[in-house]
Amino acid sequence: MEQEQRNLYPYKWQYKLQRANQYFSREFQKESLLEALKIYSLSEHFLEKTRQLVSILDNKFPNLSLRIQATLHEVKVIDFGRKKPYYFLWS
């Protein structure tokens, strides 16, 4: 697509897909998004990245509501189908 079309919806998605391909190429040495999706550990990789972001948010904003704390806790402890209980709620 042409540069002057950069505000169009398809152009934005094309750009996002190009960025995703660059990321997968750098992190997993795969040439395409479809090849990277075949990697078993891909979901764990993104879950770990999400946990890092949640930890940063949790440290930066310590006085969040109980509901938000529970959601952040869930992201930290989820283990692909096996949940750990909300022990911090009973302390």
Q: What domain count does the chain have?
A: 2
**In the prediction, which pLDDT does 43 show?**
83
Q: Residue 1: pLDDT band by 50, 70, 90 thresholds?
A: low
The parent domain of residue 16 ranges over 8-39
Domain-located, residue 30? yes
Domain-located, residue 78? yes
Phi-psi region of 29 (alpha: psi -120 to 50; beta: other; left: phi over 0): left
Domain-located, residue 2? no
Residues 44, 32 within the same domain: no
CB 42 within 8 A of CB 36: yes
> What pLDDT digit, counting tens, does each position of 55-88 carry?
998 899 988 899 988 888 888 888 765 555 665 5
**In the prediction, which pLDDT does 82 show?**
57
Residues 49, 89 within the same domain: yes
Compute φ and ψ for 79, nearest 5 degrees: -140, 60
* pTM of the full structure: 0.63
Residues 45, 19 within the same domain: no
User: Distances from the Cα of 81 to the Cαs of 39, 74, 78, in angstroms?
Assistant: 19, 12, 7
Residue type, 51: R
Question: Rounded to whole angstroms, how far apart are CA atoms 65 and 81?
Answer: 26
> What pLDDT digit, counting tens, does each position of 4-52 carry?
777 777 888 888 888 988 988 898 898 888 888 888 888 888 889 999 9
